[in-house]
Amino acid sequence: MGSVCTFIDCLKPLVYPDLFSCKYCGFKFCAKHRQPENHSCGRPSYVKYVRKTWLRKHGQNISSGQYLVVCDACGYVSSEPQLIDLAGRELEAHLSNNDRCSTKTAFLEEVLPPDVFKILASQRENIVHDNRSFWVCAHCRPPQKFKTRDEYIAHHFVHN
């Protein structure tokens, strides 16, 4: 048997061209349920927190990417990368518990594997922006903070 629409009330058999994958949750849907709002997809609600420079430049993996919460106002960085829905909830909890932090200073950043970062390193002026008060290495446990852009970039070349 082939695949079926994963919307619980539909289960229509999926045959090309009536076969769509949601870019947020990764499940397959028919044309009627392909839009996130038509299959009650919860993940798009947290996409608004993704740091937009990364979203535009590198194409986020919303469905299975790992995200850290990074707050430029207070320096908070979550301890472990998580799926976007869990990281989004952590970010919202952080915002509700800290008055000086806002959606303009707190973001979700996808953790790229070190080999991906090395491939992109030749374009490092596009990856690491100057307009930040500090930089965080999400590959380190616990995450390390750097005061200058050059320290941050140099540090990434130690990861394999």
Question: What confidence category does residue 47 fall into, taking pLDDT thresholds of 50, 70 and 90?
Answer: confident
Residue 135 has which token pair? 């930089």
Average pLDDT rounded to a whole number, residues 103-107: 90
Name 62's Cβ contacts closer than 8 Å, sequence gap at least 6. Answer: 23, 24, 43, 47, 84
DSSP structural state of residue 112: -
Q: Is the pLDDT of residue 123 over 80?
A: no
Question: What is the spatial distance between Cα 5 and Cα 134, in angstroms, rounded to a whole number?
Answer: 45
d(CA 89, CA 12): 32
pLDDT in tens, 2-16: 588 888 888 888 888
> Model confidence over 69-103: pLDDT tens digits?
999 889 898 888 888 888 999 999 999 999 999 99
Angle at 154 between CA 129 and CA 109, to 5 degrees: 45
Characterize 11-40 residue by residue with b for buried, 16 or more Cβ atoms within 10 angstroms of its Cβ, and e for exposed.
eeebeeeebbebbbbebbbbeebbebeebe
CA dihedral sign of residues 30, 34, 39, 43: positive
The pair of three-digit structure tokens given for residue 70, joined into one six-digit string:
């990074």
